[in-house]
Structure 1
Amino acid sequence: MTTYPISDLLDAAARRALPVVRGVSDDRLGDPTPCRDYTVADLTNHLFQVVVNFQALAAKEAVTWPEAPDHLHGDWRAGLGTETERLSKAWAAPGSEEGVSPGMGLPSRAVGQMALLDLTVHAWDLARATGQDFDPAPEVLPDLEELVAMMGPTGRGMGVFGEPVDPAPDAGRFERLLASTGRDPGWTRPV
């Protein structure tokens, strides 16, 4: 398996995610998403928070996770683009993938993979919730599969992942990954 730097994978994921974010119209912010209990606005705010906080985690700094942040003001779509660029740069810094992340107690590369997972899977969530198409960058899938295999039980215990869903027999690689996080790959927004 070819191992790409996390910064390269984050760049690739952002190139696929940002068009979805730009396609989220304000009238869809209250709509449900495949993430139970999250509206489009909630999920977008969560994604913003992840992208910002994981910049600090790349530098091995402590982060806080305030409840219900509100980043959806001004030109937030462009703001998320700027923050994803900063995220990739933070993970390109020397040493960002080395050692163990303080406070997280995980290998630093796994922490970077967590940001990659959120950027990829939540882009799919937002696309589904707002009627857009989304295909992940294929090069991110090996890292995401590795992370979900490693963190699945812990993620389910913490409520980050749902119980795995049985994918369709003809499910593709990304659909199987979604199912392993507890998502229904066939989820569609209510009419």
Structure 2
Amino acid sequence: MKTISELLEKAAARAVPVVRGIPDGRLADGTPCSEYDVRALLNHLFLVIDNFRILAAKGTPDFSGTEDVVTGDWRGRFDDETAQLVKAWAEPGAEEGEAGGMSMPARTVGLMVLGDLTVHAWDLARATGQDFVPDPAVVTGLEPGLAAMAPQAREMKVFGEPFPLAPGATAFERVLAVTGRDPGWRPAGR
């Protein structure tokens, strides 16, 4: 079984080019997350990355931030922030015990941020007309974990209702569907 940091490193390697490829002119475009446009989803992803880095160190996160961090060299900062996230989860003990103030097993919390990084990279790619193919090891690591978390995530309004799939769906399509996403989503009018 791969460590969370190994999986996050693979996920970041696929997410960073997507973020780098987002043109400024697309920041107001819609995403598969109907409550977020591209800018808001980027701000959310930065907040998630920062807080899950804190959780890896057994600290107390603060998810209340609403600051717009998509300013200046935000693409370069995304590279740096994801590298810091990977490093935090590689520290001895990061996957042991409970993570920060979440009262959940640390590995489960690590899978949560792995899911956010991977699924939101897909969201951003779809919203901005880019290709995105997740690392197969990441998908293998995510699928059972997200399926197990899904009922609680739906109660917390983090996941939508599962999207119905045809037989023969890929593993990543199943990951997207369990979070409530339509794997065939495309921006309106594009």
State the TM-score, normalized to the length of structure 2.
0.97
How many pairs are equivalent?
189
Task: State yes or no: 1:177 paired with 2:175.
Answer: yes
In structure 1, the partner of 2:82 is 84
Structure 1 Cα separation of the partners of residues 100 and 53 of structure 2: 14
CA deviation profile, 1:64-106 (whole Å, cap 9, x unmatched):
1124231111100010100000000000000000011232111
Structure 1 Cα separation of the partners of residues 85 and 100 of structure 2: 18
In structure 2, the partner of 1:58 is 56
In structure 2, the partner of 1:42 is 40
In structure 1, the partner of 2:164 is 166
In structure 1, the partner of 2:134 is 136
Structure 1 Cα separation of the partners of residues 179 and 113 of structure 2: 15
* Counterpart residue type for residue 90 of structure 2: A
Deviation at 1:4, TM superposition (A): 0.4
Deviation at 1:167, TM superposition (A): 1.4
4+ residue runs of structure 1 moved beyond 6 angstroms? none
Deviation at 1:63, TM superposition (A): 1.0
In structure 1, the partner of 2:14 is 16
Structure 2 Cα separation of the partners of residues 132 and 33 of structure 1: 12
Q: Is contact 1:16-1:137 (8 Å) kept?
A: yes
* Counterpart residue type for residue 64 of structure 1: D
Deviation at 1:28, TM superposition (A): 0.5
Deviates more, 1:60-69 or 1:26-35: 60-69
State the TM-score, normalized to the length of structure 1.
0.96
Q: Is contact 1:49-1:69 (8 Å) kept?
A: no
Deviation at 1:143, TM superposition (A): 2.1
Structure 2 Cα separation of the partners of residues 143 and 107 of structure 1: 16
Structure 1 Cα separation of the partners of residues 87 and 28 of structure 2: 32
* Counterpart residue type for residue 107 of structure 1: P
In structure 2, the partner of 1:152 is 150
Deviation at 1:171, TM superposition (A): 1.8
Deviates more, 1:143-152 or 1:77-86: 143-152
Runs of 5+ consecutive residues of structure 1 not aligned to the other structure? none
Structure 2 Cα separation of the partners of residues 188 and 85 of structure 1: 30
Q: Report the identity percentage.
A: 56
Q: Is contact 1:97-1:112 (8 Å) kept?
A: yes
Deviation at 1:168, TM superposition (A): 2.8
Deviation at 1:179, TM superposition (A): 0.7
Q: Is contact 1:51-1:83 (8 Å) kept?
A: yes
Runs of 5+ consecutive residues of structure 2 not aligned to the other structure? none
